[in-house]
């Protein structure tokens, strides 16, 4: 059981490395969007600092949304996905491996990159650790919830737009809790409650989404 999970995770990471152009795309998107804000909106640092949590969070969410469509696409096309559903281990675990590897190659780099970009938006330095912590949880939520949408739309040739429409409403709470956490920290208000809500949301998604994703994949593959 452990061996197959390690094999799956290794395979996903190897494949991600061999498709690295696809992975750099969200990171570049993140950098470009965030750097355009000071140019397009205002150069007033006080105003930027006020908007910084929102800008960073929205850009990070949109950036990791970009690569979501690819989560199951290649495995569906070449038939590996149906073999995974027939495997000798619970498919939920294999799906969880795919979700975690998606997060490792999108959410995690975005989080690591965010302190650099927060300087550009004049976010107070004391808020940076909380920003990273909230993005760490938030991008994981996005990978988890996004996997359900990706599983539902993988059978459609052009599922990208539908995928965004499907999961955007569910991601709104993540965005609200995330930006509130950073905003509260930056303005010296209690922020632990918001972060706890974000953590609870992520934990709930972690427990539920693998089952929902496998159910969605069974529908998609079984048609």
Partner 1 sequence: MPELLKAADLFCERDERILFADLSFAVDQGEILHIQGANGAGKTTLLRRLVGLSWVVEGNVTWHAPVADGDALDGNRFWYLAHRPAVTLLQTPLENLAFAMALHNQVLAPEALWQALSTVGLRGYEDVPAHSLSAGQQRRVSLARLYLDLPEVRLWLLDEPFTALDTSAVNQLEQRIVSFAEQGGTVIMTSHHGLHHAAVRPLHIGAPL
Between CA 184 and CA 34 the distance in angstroms is 21
Q: Which of 141, 77, 83 is nearest to 107 (CA)?
A: 141
Asked if residue 74 binds partner 1 (CB under 8 A), the reply is yes
Between CA 143 and CA 67 the distance in angstroms is 10
Among 86, 158, 169, 190, binds partner 1 (CB under 8 A): 86
Asked if residue 20 binds partner 1 (CB under 8 A), the reply is no
Region of 112 (left: φ > 0; alpha: ψ -120 to 50; beta: rest) is alpha
Q: Which of 72, 95, 87 is nearest to 155 (CA)?
A: 72
CB within 8 Å of 116: residues ≥ 6 apart: none
Among 75, 130, 145, 205, binds partner 1 (CB under 8 A): 75
Among 87, 125, 156, 207, binds partner 1 (CB under 8 A): 87
Asked if residue 204 binds partner 1 (CB under 8 A), the reply is no
Asked if residue 42 binds partner 1 (CB under 8 A), the reply is no
Asked if residue 2 binds partner 1 (CB under 8 A), the reply is no
Asked if residue 83 binds partner 1 (CB under 8 A), the reply is yes
Contact residues: partner 1, CB under 8 A: 3-4, 7-8, 11, 14-15, 18-19, 74-75, 77-80, 82-89, 94, 218-219, 221-223
């Amino acid at each position: 059981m452990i061996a197959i999970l390690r094999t799956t995770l290794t395979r996903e990471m190897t494949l991600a490395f061999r498709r690295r152009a696809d992975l750099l795309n969200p990171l570049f998107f993140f950098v470009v969007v965030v750097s355009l804000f000071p140019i397009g909106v205002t150069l007033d640092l006080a105003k930027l600092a006020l908007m910084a949590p929102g800008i960073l969070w929205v850009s990070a969410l949109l950036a990791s949304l970009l690569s979501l469509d690819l989560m199951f696409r290649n495995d569906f096309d070449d038939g590996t996905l149906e073999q995974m559903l027939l495997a000798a281990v619970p498919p939920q675990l294999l799906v969880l491996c795919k979700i975690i590897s998606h997060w490792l190659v999108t959410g995690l780099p975005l989080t690591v990159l965010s302190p650099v970009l927060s300087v550009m938006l004049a976010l107070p330095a004391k808020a940076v650790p909380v920003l990273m912590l909230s993005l760490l949880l938030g991008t994981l939520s996005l990978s988890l919830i996004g996997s359900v949408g990706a599983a539902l739309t993988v059978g459609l040739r052009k599922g990208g737009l539908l995928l965004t429409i499907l999961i955007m409403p569910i991601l709104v709470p993540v965005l609200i809790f995330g930006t509130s956490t950073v905003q509260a920290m930056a303005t010296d208000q209690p922020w632990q409650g918001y972060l706890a809500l974000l953590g609870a949301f992520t934990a709930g998604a972690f427990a539920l989404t693998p089952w929902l994703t496998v159910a969605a994949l069974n529908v998609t593959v079984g048609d």
